[in-house]
Structure 1
Amino acid sequence: MRLKTPDNLNEISVIGGGSWATALVKILTENSIHVNWYMRRSEQVRSINRDAVNPDYLSFLKLDNKKIYASDQLDEIVGRSKVVLFAVPSAHLHNVCAAIPKEDLAEKFVITAIKGTVGPDNLLPSSYLARYFELKDFQQAMIAGPCHAEEIARNKKTYMTLCSSNETFIGKISNWFASSYMQVKYSPDMVGVEYAAIYKNIVGIVCGMAEGLHYGDNFMAVLVSNAIDELGLLLRAVGTPDARLGSSAYLGDLLVTGYSAHSRNRAFGKYLGQGYSVFEARQLMGMVAEGYFATRGLMATVKRLGLNLPLLQTAYRVLYNHMAAVDEFKLLERNIR
């Protein structure tokens, strides 16, 4: 039986305590949506409830905690809302799901704001959640950028794409995220946009390596041009040939991740280009760069599909074969056009 979308949705459970989750909570509470917020660390919970500040991420941002119920009890938070939004790193999603009884999401709508593959089968986040909790397509949606959390926190104009096969559900939640600085669009291409969101983080790492190696703007433009071609090849191979690559959810998100100073993946790649080891770069970051995990997961998918994606291969060899970025870029120069 198809789950009916309620008419009076005004509450959501948000799972995750990072900067992206914090930015989303900001938007939601500004639109008078009550947020039940799961944060793993009790210190974060206390700070939100007492001071309306996430002490670990976007700590300059004052939230409206009159519209927030924060807790470190995951089962309690999941149980409080008909809509559950996952905004955790892809590498942590399995452990989070394992702590939620499968029946708890059976009659809920689930939104993902995760950009990476999950588990040994390298599944899309939505596919992993669907398999784990036996969700139907109409129960799921995802959020796509370009939406750097730091700019949302400062009310900088951007565009968000909400993806789902359930346009009715998206119609009822679009105003949760819309504001004077956030324009919301709808796309039915959930699979294509999820793959684009994963791939753009890898491109961010490669662009960062190029900066660390002192390549100039001209070469960076060549990298991004080739990245667009690679993304098109990938999306055709996974069955979304009609994706409008020039739209904000595809090209826009890729560009901002490759060029922006706010991009964690670019910063991570820059350290690698400067000669730091992968271990050292991860330590210097202090935050998760999703492209690190995404590279391994997407590489396995691309091998299965028989694709040749030089930018992805460069990232993989530097990250997982521990090759020097300077040597890999000499090879990359010969493999891009």
Structure 2
Amino acid sequence: MADKIAVVGAGSWGTTLANLLAKKGHDVTLWGHEPELVREMRETRENSVYLPGITLSPNLAFTNSFEEVYAGCRMVLCVVPSQLVRTVMGKSVPLIPRDSIVVSASKGIEVDTLATVSEIYQEILPPEQYARFSAISGPSFAREVAQEMPTAVAAASESEETACQVQEAFTTNYFRVYRNSDVTGVELGGAVKNVIAIAAGISDGLGFGYNTRAALITRGLAEIARLGIAMGAQPATFAGLAGMGDLVLTCTGDLSRNRTVGVQLGQGRTLSEILGEMRMVAEGVKTTESTYNLSKKLGVDMPITHKMYEILYEDKPARDAVIELMTRDLKAEGI
């Protein structure tokens, strides 16, 4: 049965998922903040800013009105940058039907509060609605999904019924959704992998090879798992799609915005120059700050993350950071 679904956030991922749901036959309305972009998508069936070259389904509707997007919806999918979730969804809550499922596809940790996205929703949603909250994450470049390339992700919810409903709503013959009960682990994997992806990009920009990248991915995963376990996540989650899967993709794929930022940093450009030229958000920049502070608060050892913070926010030369990582006290391997 087709459901009415509200998708909030008309960036590349929000537009892609809205288009996927509309093509599947759901009644989907996509909310965008910029009126001119909403008008363009309605008139041309294309998001030329964030998803150029992809024709959008004739079944997909567009609006920049919260009242319109939420009217009668059975499911809400929020895909705004993580630092905007509290503001955008805080305004939305009074308008969202109480029986709607709320699904998050935002990846990050709030800088001011160090809250995960699910913790933000726990604060702003009514308790009975938060009980049906779900987070969707995994190795999924928007453009490849928009081009219907086979992709697999995880939908996490503490409610098995909700996870099943999200799984059924999103799964197509090219987009496979697995259920997961570990919301914290799925979210942290999706957030902190962006920090490691910037590090991998810096490595490539400095001219280092596959050995270096493999070491960063492996030891980066150990950092993510340490933080997750300290926050109550299940260790097995980090070996799955939202953990290792998303980390490998973001650290190696040329479509990764975070890796691209790192490559340019490694080549000697400044962070302000790089971000000044970007229209889309590289979540890893802010997530580096929040993860660094969260690791200090919880007493979790995250040496790669700490060096990334020093590079991004204290102007430490990248080569110096590499030497410092390589010459740390020797230890046994493990998480």
Are the counterparts in 1 of residues 133 and 162 from structure 2 also a CA contact under 8 Å? no
Within 2, Cα distance between the matches of 1:288 and 1:201?
11
Residue 77 of structure 1, CA deviation: 1.1
Q: Which amino acid aligns with 1:239?
A: G
Are the counterparts in 1 of residues 18 and 29 from structure 2 also a CA contact under 8 Å? no
Within 2, Cα distance between the matches of 1:46 and 1:333?
52
Residue 101 of structure 1, CA deviation: 5.0
Residue 213 of structure 1, CA deviation: 0.8
Residue 324 of structure 1, CA deviation: 1.9
Query: Which residue of 88, 91, 107 corresponds with 1:96?
Result: 88
User: Which has the higher mean CA deviation after the structures are superposed, 254-263 or 241-250?
Assistant: 241-250
Aligned to 2:296: 303
Q: Which amino acid aligns with 2:173?
A: S
Residue 98 of structure 1, CA deviation: 4.1
Aligned to 2:63: 71
User: Which has the higher mean CA deviation after the structures are superposed, 259-268 or 84-93?
Assistant: 84-93
Within 2, Cα distance between the matches of 1:172 and 1:192?
20
2:214 is the alignment partner of 1:251: no
Aligned to 1:124: 116
SS at match of 1:288: coil
Are the counterparts in 2 of residues 45 and 72 from structure 1 also a CA contact under 8 Å? yes
Cα deviation 1:66-88 (Å, max 9, x = unaligned): x2221111232123412111101
Q: 1:168 to 1:204 in 2, by over 3 A?
A: same
SS at match of 1:57: coil
Query: Which residue of 262, 267, 271 corresponds with 1:274?
Result: 267
Count the aligned residue pairs.
329
Aligned to 2:12: 19
Are the counterparts in 2 of residues 14 and 36 from structure 1 also a CA contact under 8 Å? yes
SS at match of 2:114: coil
Q: 1:101 to 1:110 in 2, by over 3 A?
A: closer
SS at match of 2:223: helix
SS at match of 1:35: strand
Aligned to 2:185: 192
Aligned to 1:31: 24
TM-score by length of 1: 0.92
Are the counterparts in 2 of residues 22 and 58 from structure 1 also a CA contact under 8 Å? yes
Query: Which residue of 287, 306, 325 corresponds with 1:332?
Result: 325
Q: Which amino acid aligns with 1:209?
A: I
Cα deviation 1:78-137 (Å, max 9, x = unaligned): 234121111011122233134325464544221000001125211111110220233444
| Identity rate, percent | 28
Q: 1:104 to 1:156 in 2, by over 3 A?
A: closer
2:73 is the alignment partner of 1:81: yes
Cα deviation 1:270-326 (Å, max 9, x = unaligned): 111111111011123332100011111111111111011111011111111122222
Residue 60 of structure 1, CA deviation: 0.5
Residue 220 of structure 1, CA deviation: 1.0
Within 1, Cα distance between the matches of 2:21 and 2:190?
22
Within 1, Cα distance between the matches of 2:113 and 2:300?
18
Residue 241 of structure 1, CA deviation: 3.8
Q: 1:147 to 1:101 in 2, by over 3 A?
A: closer
User: Which has the higher mean CA deviation after the structures are superposed, 326-335 or 312-321?
Assistant: 326-335
TM-score by length of 2: 0.93
User: Which has the higher mean CA deviation after the structures are superposed, 42-51 or 108-117?
Assistant: 42-51
Within 1, Cα distance between the matches of 2:73 and 2:62?
13
Q: Which amino acid aligns with 2:71?
A: G
Alignment of 1:21-60 (within 5 A): 21-60=14-53
Within 2, Cα distance between the matches of 1:301 and 1:263?
24
RMSD in angstroms over aligned alpha carbons? 1.8
Are the counterparts in 1 of residues 3 and 75 from structure 2 also a CA contact under 8 Å? no
Query: Which residue of 119, 138, 143 corresponds with 1:150?
Result: 143
2:208 is the alignment partner of 1:215: yes
Within 2, Cα distance between the matches of 1:130 and 1:105?
16
Residue 249 of structure 1, CA deviation: 1.8
Q: 1:103 to 1:12 in 2, by over 3 A?
A: closer
Q: Which amino acid aligns with 2:52?
A: S
Identify unmatched segments of 5+ residues in structure 1.
1-7
Q: Which amino acid aligns with 1:71?
A: T
Within 2, Cα distance between the matches of 1:54 and 1:80?
25
